[in-house]
A = this chain, B = another copy of it.
Amino acid sequence: MSAQSPIVEGATALIGFNDLVGLLHAVFVKHGTSPEVAAILAHNCASAERDGAHSHGIFRIPGYLSTLASGWVDGKAVPVVTDVASGWVSADACNGFAQPALAAARALLVEKARSAGIALLAIHNSHHFAALWPDVEPFAEEGLVALSVVNSMTCVVPHGADRPLFGTNPIAFAAPRADGAPIVFDLATSAIAHGDVQIAARKGERLAPGMGVDSLGQPTTDPKAVLEGGALLPFGGHKGSALSMMVELLAAALTGGNFSFEFSWADHPGARTPWTGQLLIVIDPSKTAGQRFAERSQELVRQMHAVGLRRLPGDRRHRTRAKSELIGIEVQAQDLAQLQALLAD
């Protein structure tokens, strides 16, 4: 961007996936990550942007850079993978991001799942600041079923309690199917994802009722009131709350990671990334008795359409992905300029 081409507010630009990955890679390296970590985070972030998952796309970059600058997370951490048992891989992210730990443990995890039928990866001492579906979708693309949970930071009031304790604690699931993209969903166990509250605040929009409370614990539809001392509610009342509790147990207690309420970034101004744990369970459905799993999941999808369902979980992402692959990823010209400015000395 030069002074000769001022950016019109609201104007959009198109950028190819590889170009966006390259730009993000350069930004991460310049701001303190190793090239290896940069490659993984850039691919993750560009994938979200490509799929229209804006709350986890380039919108996240200022948060990444702020947390790196604060010294709260180690952008050059080299994860340590341990082969614990025939179905159990453990990864210490060494105060780095969770995704490089998954990448480092992935081959061993898949090998164990294919041999034993099921295996888990327990990541601890990790920071997860991205969407969860990119962690599970690739397993389904190679014929495996994957489930992942990650806890985050205290911002959700357990159903029946007075004050927040749980994180947004998402659950992501992916399964292969015969005639199409994998079946994938990624849902926060909070009534709304934290990133979507931030986006609503930025856009000046209100939240739907039942999503959050203000700093006094009173119901509010103001995203700023939620972000400034308020808190979120679990989805689906006591049931979503029970699932959020399960995520704390699986992602933290079972991995050796922190609960969402156990870390404080008070001494690290600018820190943004929850320092917790993550669990992945991977299953090889080729062990299923007498049936081909991918054909069975295809049959379920066929019947879901037959009862009038127009949109499967993940459909909108895949449509946006197809469009992005055809014409490029549509981003705000202003956002792109800001990314490029991050490379300037």
A residues with a Cβ closer than 8 A to B are 82, 84-88, 90, 92, 115-120, 122, 124, 145, 157-158, 160-165, 171, 173, 175, 183, 185, 187, 235-240, 242-243, 245-246, 248-250, 252-256, 259, 261, 281, 283, 285, 287-291, 293, 296-297, 299-300, 303-304, 307-311, 313
Contacts and interface: CB of A to CB of B under 8 A. Distances in A.
Given A253-B300, A261-B303, 10 more contacts: A86-B87, A86-B116, A118-B119, A145-B249, A161-B304, A164-B307, A238-B313, A254-B283, A256-B289, A259-B300
Given A117-B86, A256-B289, A256-B290, A245 B304 contact: yes
A289 B90 contact: yes
| Chain A contact surface mostly | mixed
Contact of A183 (B82, B245, B281): B245
A253 B88 contact: no
Name, among A145, A171, A183, A283, the residue most crowded by chain B CB atoms within 10 Å (CB to CB). A283
A300 B240 contact: no
Nearest to A248: B300
A157 B85 CA distance: 41
Which are the 5 A-B pairs with shortest beta-carbon distances?
A: A236-B236, A88-B117, A162-B308, A87-B116, A256-B289
A195 to B, nearest CB: 16
Contact of A85 (B116, B164, B165, B309): B116
A92 B289 contact: yes
